[in-house]
Amino acid sequence: MEKILKSYISSQKQPYITFKEYMDLALYHPEFGYYNSNQEKIGRHGDFYTSSNLSDVFGRALGRWFIHLFATCDIPRHIIELGAGTGRIAHAVLAYIQEQDEELFNQLQYTVIESSPFHGHKQKSLLENYENVYFIKDLESIGELRGIIFSNELFDAFPVHVIERKEGITYEVMVTADLHEQLIPLQNAEIEAYLEVLSLDLVEGQRIEIPLSMVQYYRTLCTKITKGILVTIDYGYTNEEWKEDIHRRGSLRGYYQHSMYDNVLQKAGEMDLTAHIHWDALRVNGKEQELHSLSFQRQNEFLLSCGILEELSNTSNPNPFSTEHKRNRAIRTLIEPGQISSHFQVLIQSKNIEIKNNNLFPTTII
């Protein structure tokens, strides 16, 4: 992959490319890009964990909430998952709904939209026993979207531009053919427009990622939704948080075999690259596309609202590795402050859906 990148950059009119182009190739090159290669990515033998890989309780909590939404709101009985990784959330959601509400399960359609052939293959094999699951490669090939549409850690995997403010000038950070950074005065009008729309003012020395690809995808997504609830689970910052000193150097990182790398211009094609998402970009663009923001919470609060504590079991099984014990431990990891969920937020938006009595979540005993 490194050779391909170097020769691609050398062949350009200018001797550099944007970070967005670098990430497009390093992550999504059809043959050697990270997400298209056959190496394990998620879980113990991969490079990173996601909440769904911890245990099935994450998917079960979502399933519990989805049952509530289908029962209380007029939503088409269709769940659409974007970027489903190994397919473990889909599996847990479907198993839970089948177990709890067979009538709903029999009417339900579940569509996975997944661009990576590697992950598509994994999903198909894990979900092969479900006849109501459909697989689609990209958002473009679907007409309208009606139902519950959700993603977990999709948007943080989108390529980003990188800009930096230095000595009063805003630069775009470029990548040269020897895979080093070069600062070029910002000329991209789309980035300038993004900064203006989001009222993002960089301070001296600040570096930030600009998620134009995410915004483009998200706008297409919003246009396609005609009736539904959109749930985005990810790590990100609000505009206020981007102003904090601790985030002044941006958030672009690499993950390789569970170690974090600040220099993302190494291990191209072997390493996951990720940046914190811009929550305000989703809110502002969603509003323009007639989506209402219903709720924005930390993931642990969201899971408590879904009723995750009702998944706790009072087991007397002496085996500490039994399903019940594993689930109980995972619930604790998912809800305890300072653990995995405190890094994640959940944005819930709706289009043409009435939430009866503002009853977005089931009433649970906490």
Q: Which residue type, as a one-letter code, is found at position 334?
A: L
For residue 62, the minimal CB distance to ligand SAM (Å) is 11
- Binding mask 154-173 toward ligand SAM (x if CB under 6 A, else -) reads x--x----------------
Residue with smaller CB distance to ligand SAM, 225 or 355:
225
Cα–Cα distance for residue pair 234/215, rounded to 1 Å: 15
**Which of 98, 115, 170, 313 contacts ligand SAM by CB under 6 A?**
115
The footprint of ligand SAM on residues 213-242 (CB under 6 A) is none
- Which residues lie across from 346 on neighbouring strands? 233, 297
Cα–Cα distance for residue pair 119/123, rounded to 1 Å: 6
Residue with smaller CB distance to ligand SAM, 157 or 346:
157
Residue with smaller CB distance to ligand SAM, 157 or 353:
157
State the DSSP string of 43-60: STTSSB--HHHH-THHHH
Cα–Cα distance for residue pair 227/218, rounded to 1 Å: 16
For residue 115, the minimal CB distance to ligand SAM (Å) is 4
Residue with smaller CB distance to ligand SAM, 84 or 265:
84
Q: Is 49 exposed, middle or buried (0-12, 13-18, 19+ CB in 10 A)?
A: middle
- Residue 94 binds ligand SAM, judged by CB under 6 A: no
Alpha helices in the chain (DSSP H): 2-10, 19-28, 51-54, 57-72, 88-100, 102-107, 117-126, 189-197, 212-224, 239-242, 279-288, 299-306, 323-335
**Which of 23, 89, 93, 225 contacts ligand SAM by CB under 6 A?**
89
For residue 122, the minimal CB distance to ligand SAM (Å) is 9
Residue with smaller CB distance to ligand SAM, 52 or 345:
52
For residue 294, the minimal CB distance to ligand SAM (Å) is 21
Cα–Cα distance for residue pair 360/148, rounded to 1 Å: 13
- The site for ligand SAM (CB under 6 A) is made up of 35, 42, 50, 52-53, 82-85, 89, 113-116, 119, 152-154, 157
